[in-house]
Chain A
Amino acid sequence: MTQPFRLPTAGRLDAAGTVSFTFDGKAHAGLAGDTLASALLANGVHLVGRSFKYHRPRGILSAGAEEPNALVGIHRDPARKTPNVRATVQELYDGLAAVSQNRWPSLAFDVGALNDLGAPFFSAGFYYKTFMWPRAAWERLYEPVIRRAAGLGTAPDQPDPDRYSNRFAHCDVLVVGGGAAGLAAALAASEAGARVILADEQAEPGGSLRFEDGAFIDGKPGWEWAQQTAAQLAARDNVRLLTRTTGFGYYAQNMLGLVECLTDHLAAPDPEAPRERLWQVRAKRVVLATGAIERHMVFPDNDRPGIMLASAARAYLNHFGVAVGRRVAVYTADDSAYAAAIDLKEKGVEIAALVDLRPAPQGAHVDEARALGIEVLAGHAVTGTEGRLRVHRVNVAPVNGGAPRRIEADALVTSSGWTPAVHLFSQSRGKLAFNEATQRFLPGQYVQDAVSVGAGNGTTGLGEAIAEALQAGGKAAKEAGVSKARAKVPNLEAGSTERWSSGMAGAAPGAEAGRKAMAFVDFQNDVTAKDIRQAVQEGMRSIEHVKRFTTTGMATDQGKTSNLHALTIASEMLGKPIPEVGLTTFRPPYTPVTFGALVGHGRGALFEPTRRTPIHAWAEAHGAVFEDVGQWKRAWYFPSGGEDMHAAVARECRTVRQSAGIFDASTLGKIEVVGPDAARFMELMYTNPWQKLAVGRCRYGIMLREDGFIYDDGVVGRLAEDRFHVTTTTGGAPRVLHHMEDYLQTEFPDLKVWLTSTSEQWATIAVQGPKSRDIVAPLVEGIDLSDEAMPHMSVREGRVCGVPARLFRISFTGERGFEINVPADYGLSVWEAVWAEGGKHGACAYGTETMHVLRAEKGFIIVGQDTDGTVTPDDAGLAWAIGRKKTDFVGIRGLKRPDLTAPGRRQLVGLKTFDPKTVLEEGAQIVADPNQPVPMKMIGFVTSSYWSENCGRSIALALVENGSHRMGERLHVPMEDGAIEVEVVPTVFFDEKGERTNG
């Protein structure tokens, strides 16, 4: 395997570090330190992809993050197929497998290229205009076909096996960009003692020093200085140097998002290591040293493989030691491209011609080029190119008329000038200012504590950029309040032979208005100069409209190389100066960010906390099936001996009512309300009266919102005059506490009472059923369990299994029942003791499903299931729980609202199906007349529905209009296969007289 375009005398890579890789299955060799792009070019491969819309052959345009064309898929394994990777930033590793995209059946022969022949029809707005009619065809025909044809690359069809990481970080000075200016700024800031983070997107900092061979800093070649400085910075305790790290977003209050790539460059990454890390950095000061991006020339057929940016050709030559062609032509409208011609020529590459659009370029660079024997064609334009899969000929003509020339060349490097990378500055909401002299947008007014330096700030000379960055770094440290700011700003001598001039933007000759040429502005979205003009002709006036109509700048590269061209062409068409037309908004991310990086650790088991009770392990060991209740895992039912859910729940329901059942109620919310005003506060928060509740007694409380609707419920025990043990629903615990704190802190701040969540202090074990007292009794110390001493709805403090306990005599099943609360770490042990006692009485463990059925048999509501935020206590049959003599509680006024007192509201009722075996579906709608035309008038819906083993039939609860006045009425539940007839009945299905709580 040879690398025919690798030059032995150029570049910085070690010729011994051979690395093999494949592109579309073909094996190639590259060198360690290569990017995929440089390695492909070393092998003479320019054709790497097909364009998005016209499927035109495309090559490598750039050598960096701005790349619009060279997007490939990197396939590590079946689950690790990353589409749309820019070959120019993908570091080469041994065994790398890349595939081209957007072509079928092959890159060289692509059927989709037929689109190119139809290009006259596919102009801007084509989709909007063409697929309008017939309307129905959009969904069935157009969209599926377009979707199949469009898109870039293919997404993997397996879950992402990689890990991702997150870090919050804080620093005095964040420097984004590790080129000459960024390094200098970081140097100065860190020397002043500031905590500095320096982020650079490349593996090695240095920025454009990578190709600017004429740069000298501190007496050293620029690149050498950059590497030494980076090492020096990395060694400092107060500096965090992040390489392969892109600052992609600038958010409020100096928070920036950075993505650090950790493993994409490795041949065999540690599977435990994260692939990427998201840094959420809060910086006191930000130094933006983001550099500038070279623009291509907009001329006919400027998109053939082999046509690339002049600076990219220099990077491939000077850093990677790769010649982009054997005979290279140069097309420029500025000075900087001369260096490409000179560098190439000096390394032995033939320069076919240097075409300069300007009539009379002058200066040392021009003289030097000529002296090297390069033919400089001043006042000439490239009017077209030839070559199917790679450029092989460049057509040149004098701008002011004259004989055209056809020049043989296997590469054409172009430059129309440099666009400062102001993306992050703009994202920070800073205002850009248009510089007339240099025709550039530069950072203008800052809104955040940031400063731009170097090429990104429009500072073009190396010496000036270094001086500016050193000053800015030192100043940023000082402004960040670093005390050691006595430190002198370091001084660095820097100079360069590099040349810069402002260049041009917009269409070059041959691509002017009226020409049919395919002169591409935006390569990735296949937008030509003609498309931009057409958008204006068709009435688009705002650049935002032009952008959306043509999709210019809307591809994944966000128009880094193209936006200024598009803007210039639009402004010419509109006859308005550029600043009046304005730029489109820069939005994060600067370069594409994976979802993985944004998600970070938050996937799988860490997606959100999974909360388990102290008794969870026991339930798991005893075969429980769990259900998710909010973040909690709750035992749903305990199948035994091959039972299905139905059989297990039926057995559990029977057992509880025949002997006893044991239930883990630890997830119930618990709030301790303590203070001399505790009862007064409870009066305000709940509808019930509390002042007269005796110590040691419990009451079922209902909490409303101010609008009068039920918000939560639960049993409350009074432990002392000034102490209540409040329980809430499992899901309601946090919001009930928040709601109570809200009133306490902001409406009733004078009340002497405090609230403490004790949800997790206590493990709660419910023992329910006729045998419950027999089971509990042997474990309890110091509490008289007789009905006289401890009647239903009471609470006692004592000891259970030798540990402090709060024992409630309460029932959510209608049976005699206890709830044992013990400190959570004892929960499992106490449960095991209760279980052992239960075994003597034939008790079972039961889960939430049985709990639901048993409470429904008794007509007890579950807030959130039988209520939906529009149900009043009266609607739920709970009007008795409102303290009629009370003059205030939250919701007292809401209850008097006309709608809430109007007759005919939906009220909670029981439903019995005529066929006792039919179990209704929860959520099913209820109608009075099943034979009415559709849409039927719905008068209610089923809120709870179960098979009741104890009743020997199905039971249901429902909210039905005027339900409490419909007892005995027949209603209907229309389902897909016919209406189910039901009878309206009271909500209590079992033990109507409520005798079993003492049974």
Chain B
Amino acid sequence: MLLIHCPYCEEERPELEFRHAGEAHIARPENIAEIADEAFQRYFFIRANPKGVTFERWRHIHGCGRFFNAARDTVSDRFLMTYRVGEPKPDLRKIDRK
């Protein structure tokens, strides 16, 4: 069981309190009703699923209830950092990948 740092509770909490919520930094288009099929496909269906550092959403569902973002290495299964919703995607070069 991992420990995950919740950026709202400001401490590490057991994984059992969290739920994964898919890839991060995919904004719903403002004019979603108008976009073309290809744009909708990119928005709704296509995910990066990289080997290595991935940016993903989590929710502290059995804690503060907040959604937040995380950078996690899918190879080592390490959380590199977590940050609040609305904060910019962190610069990969500045993340300590250990």
Contact = CB atoms under 8 A, between A and B. Distances in A.
B61 interface: yes
A893 B32 contact: yes
Interface string B34-70: 0101001000100000000000010101000111000
Contacts of A405: none
Contacts of A741: 59, 65, 67
Contacts, number: 48
A893 B40 contact: yes
A10 B65 CA distance: 64
B44 A707 contact: yes
A545 B37 CA distance: 49
Interface string A710-750: 00000000000000000000000000001001100111010
A742 B67 contact: yes
B32 A738 contact: no
Interface in A890-919: 892-894, 896-898
B85 A749 contact: yes
A255 B35 contact: no
B21 interface: yes
A742 B21 contact: yes
B1 A280 contact: yes
Interface in A209-261: 251-253, 255
Contacts of B32: 888, 892-893
Nearest to A755: B65
A887 interface: yes
A706 B41 CA distance: 11
Interface centre among A742, A746, A896 (most CB of B within 10 A): A746
A282 interface: yes
Chain A interface, >50% SS class: mixed
Nearest to A888: B33
Nearest to A280: B1
A698 to B, nearest CB: 27
B86 interface: yes
Contacts of B1: 251-252, 255, 280
B67 A887 contact: no
Contact of A897 (B21, B40, B85): B40
B92 interface: no
B12 to A, nearest CB: 8
Contacts of B19: 738
Given A280-B1, A282-B3, A749-B85, A893 B35 contact: yes
Given A745-B85, A747-B28, A892 B37 contact: no
- Chain B interface size range: 20 to 34
B3 to A, nearest CB: 5
B77 interface: yes
Interface in A570-593: none
A887 B2 contact: no
Contacts of B59: 738, 741-742
B37 A897 contact: yes
Contacts of A746: 57, 67, 85
Contacts of A252: 1-2, 77
Interface string B9-45: 0000010000101000001100011010100100010
B89 to A, nearest CB: 14
Contacts of A745: 66-67, 85
A892 B66 contact: no
A461 B15 CA distance: 42
Interface string A790-819: 000000000000000000000000000000
Contacts of B40: 893-894, 897
Contacts of A896: 33
A872 to B, nearest CB: 15
Contact of B33 (A280, A893, A897, A898): A893
A280 B77 CA distance: 19
A749 B86 contact: yes
A185 to B, nearest CB: 24
Contacts of A706: 28, 44
Interface in A252-273: 252-253, 255
Interface in A47-98: none
Contact of A898 (B37, B61, B86): B37
A436 B57 CA distance: 47
Contacts of A742: 21, 59, 67
A894 B44 contact: yes
Interface centre among B3, B27, B28 (most CB of A within 10 A): B28
B74 to A, nearest CB: 14
Nearest to A251: B1
Contacts of A892: 32-33
A255 B14 CA distance: 11
A251 B14 CA distance: 13
A253 B28 contact: no
B13 to A, nearest CB: 11
Contacts of A168: 14
A738 B61 contact: yes
A763 B37 CA distance: 45
A576 B35 CA distance: 61
Interface in A150-179: 168
B17 to A, nearest CB: 12
A898 B57 CA distance: 30
Contacts of B3: 253, 282
B81 to A, nearest CB: 15
Contacts of B28: 706, 747
A679 to B, nearest CB: 19
A280 B21 CA distance: 26
Interface in A866-905: 887-888, 892-894, 896-898
Interface centre among A745, A887, A896 (most CB of B within 10 A): A745
A200 B27 CA distance: 53
Interface string B58-98: 01010001110000000001000000011000000000000
Interface in A837-893: 887-888, 892-893
B33 A887 contact: yes
Contacts of A251: 1
A589 to B, nearest CB: 16
Contacts of B44: 706-707, 894
A155 B32 CA distance: 59
B76 to A, nearest CB: 8
A628 to B, nearest CB: 23
Contacts of A749: 85-86
A896 B41 CA distance: 12
A868 to B, nearest CB: 19
Contacts of A894: 40, 44
A2 to B, nearest CB: 53
B30 to A, nearest CB: 9
Interface string A527-550: 000000000000000000000000
B86 to A, nearest CB: 7
A746 B3 CA distance: 23
A738 B58 CA distance: 12
B45 to A, nearest CB: 9
Contacts of A893: 32-33, 35, 40
Nearest to A889: B33
Contacts of B14: 168, 282
B40 to A, nearest CB: 5
Contacts of B67: 741-742, 745-746
Contacts of B77: 252
Nearest to A705: B44
Interface of B: 1-3, 14, 19, 21, 27-28, 32-33, 35, 37, 40, 44, 57, 59, 61, 65-67, 77, 85-86
Given A738-B19, A742-B59, A742-B67, 8 more contacts: A280-B1, A741-B59, A746-B67, A747-B27, A893-B35, A893-B40, A894-B40, A896-B33
Task: Report the 7 A-B pairs with minimum CB-CB distance, sorted nearest first.
Answer: A893-B32, A745-B67, A892-B33, A747-B28, A253-B3, A746-B67, A893-B40
14 contacts: A168-B14, A252-B1, A252-B2, A253-B2, A253-B3, A741-B65, A745-B85, A746-B85, A747-B27, A749-B86, A887-B33, A893-B35, A894-B40, A898-B37
